[in-house]
Structure 1
């Protein structure tokens, strides 16, 4: 595997006729596919600094001084170096026409800037689906059974202490906001445990798919007022930022449970904390936060909240799927001029 660029190496590298790809970090799982693609394309690898976005930017700019690139991608653990903007990626233009994230979400990509400069942005789309849906399930069971409180009570030497009786999934009405691939997978897991699923989505599913999944479409207000558990599974966009705020919490059942494996900014943090402190929200299970990777200390100290470090997609099987999706996007783009999973439309088509 090609080594990371060495600053002391001053040799001018000649432009190859092969397409060249800049990898921010080194794929470790889809190695067979990577080796096959290395027969057709040139891959250069840099290792991002996990503690410094500025140092990572310097590495990318140094790479751009040495070579021109046709595509660029990054894989896991991106929070310390995001967002992916002109400041970071600008020197790769105008040759680079494809930027790929290993995440399903793409809110930390400046897709408008990329499109304006003739570049596609693409994502791994459904690769993290199962891992994230299972994390959703873990958080669902944790909040119903109060596992955070029970563990803290036992660790303090109080055994049962004054723990209240907990809840079971059977009979619970679970409202899913966003019925994409993750929402659908989570819905099936809930139904298998005896729960009932209602959902709201920007686009309603077909009648046939609703019947196949055994889910019921409801308007947004009905979901808020009816659900025992509300799960956030929609992407973060301008229209979904602070989708759940003070007004929405007031409409919910007293003692509702909240799950979020999508993005922290979909829920108004101040209103969310107030709802937990007042008891409006009984418990919450969160894998995402505002201001990652340095969330509000409240989430780290409140026994009513089960927390995970945006960890849903971090499984070995998901890692393989993510890296394969990235590499397949690259190969398809070089063959056809369009990636498999574009999330924007370039203003300039070449």
Structure 2
């Protein structure tokens, strides 16, 4: 049943799957898996160090979904895995909470799950779009207070509005397909323009960054968090937006300058916002959670049973492929190959 210690890989797991039990058992057939389930960041730091000390160097490591309470997974967490570890696989499309360059410098792959969260995140974007246009959060709060429609202004229809997408990756494309069914005109800005055939299939028009801001009735953010996109939606760019436009963000909170957004909402430059992500998760700025101008959700885009199941499968598949071939299915960096002479 078990191979010799020299041939079996060791895998360190942060969390165990809720749904992908078959894939988890399959992985344990080809590797020795040592895992723990934390609740806080200090527990992650201690757990990784403890398992490495108890069981020796690890060849690969992974973390599953639902990590807001105990991420990020930087050098303080991953340090004990080196030298020797060749992969850190994480759940989710974003990987701003993983030091991909540092891992590459240490000869290790970072891997993500780029397709698992696409549909569910796009669905939530659609929900937030309708919520901010129809002002449903405020309408619900008024009803719950027992005053029926008192204080409610007329809402907006999506039909005929221009929907702007900043970042046209897999999620952005899925959003374009969904909002098109609401009768919205789709424009987008991306680092690289899509081909004509893709634009035709999505019924989406490429525009400049300035035109995206000026034309969008609803601006929806779908870019990864990078050095270039941190604080992208700042006061200067907000000033270029349509007066009374709407903002939806399901990407990363830090893409938005939150103080600039608060000022824009208070002045009604931006009429309402739908936010699933915040700078200080899991304790966002209280202004957003208390304001009737904002629909708020707790980074909930990927939290469906189907999405978590797909994501767990993709995390475990990254590990399995690495164990079998030396490379994960979805790498996001290029490890530096170390010579045998520099192994100490």
TM-score exceeds 0.5: yes
Matches of 1:324 and 1:45, distance apart in 2: 16
Q: How far has the Cα of 1:303 moved from its partner?
A: 0.5
1:144, CA displacement in angstroms?
0.7
Q: Which residue in 2 is equivalent to 1:282? A: 271
Q: Secondary structure at 2:67's aligned position in 1? A: coil
User: In structure 2, what is the equivalent of residue 166 of structure 1?
Assistant: 155
1:205 paired with 2:220, answer no
Say whether the 8 Å CA contact 2:65–2:312 is kept in structure 1: no
**2:179 equivalent to 1:190:** yes
Which among 213, 216, 219 is matched to residue 224 of structure 1? 213
Name 2:342's counterpart in structure 1: none
1:116 equivalent in structure 2: 105
Which residue matches 1:9? none
TM-score (norm 1): 0.93
Q: What are the ranges of 5 or more consecutive residues in structure 1 without an aligned counterpart?
A: 1-13
State the 1:17 CA deviation: 2.9
Q: Report Cα offsets for 1:242-267 as digits up to 9, x if no partner.
A: 11100111111111100000000101
Shift of 1:274: 0.3
Stretch of structure 1 that moved more, 125-134 or 30-39: 30-39
Q: Could you say what secondary structure the match of 1:320 adopts? A: helix
Question: How far apart in 1 are the matches of 2:151 and 2:263?
Answer: 24
1:42 to partner: Cα distance: 1.4
What pairs with 1:1-350 in structure 2 (closer than 5 Å)?
A: 15=5, 17-48=7-38, 50=39, 52-67=40-55, 68-348=57-337
- CA distance in structure 1 between the partners assigned to 2:338 and 2:288 by the alignment: 45
C-alpha deviations, 1:260-305, integer Å up to 9, x for none?
Answer: 0000010111101000000001110000000111110001100010
The Cα shift of 1:349 comes to 5.8
CA distance in 1, matches of 2:294, 2:282: 17
Query: C-alpha distance in 2, partners of 1:38/1:156?
Result: 53
Is the 8 Å Cα contact of residues 122 and 172 (structure 2) preserved in structure 1?
yes
Gaps of at least 5 residues in structure 2 are 340-344
Q: Look up the SS of the partner of 2:29 in the other structure.
A: coil
Question: 1:15: how far off?
Answer: 4.9
Q: What is the aligned partner in structure 2 of residue 6 from structure 1?
A: none
Give, in angstroms, the shift of residue 69 of structure 1: 1.0
Secondary structure at the aligned position of 1:334 is classed as helix
TM-score w.r.t. structure 2 length?
A: 0.95
Secondary structure at 1:39 match in 2? helix
Q: CA RMSD in A?
A: 1.3
Equivalent pairs, count: 335
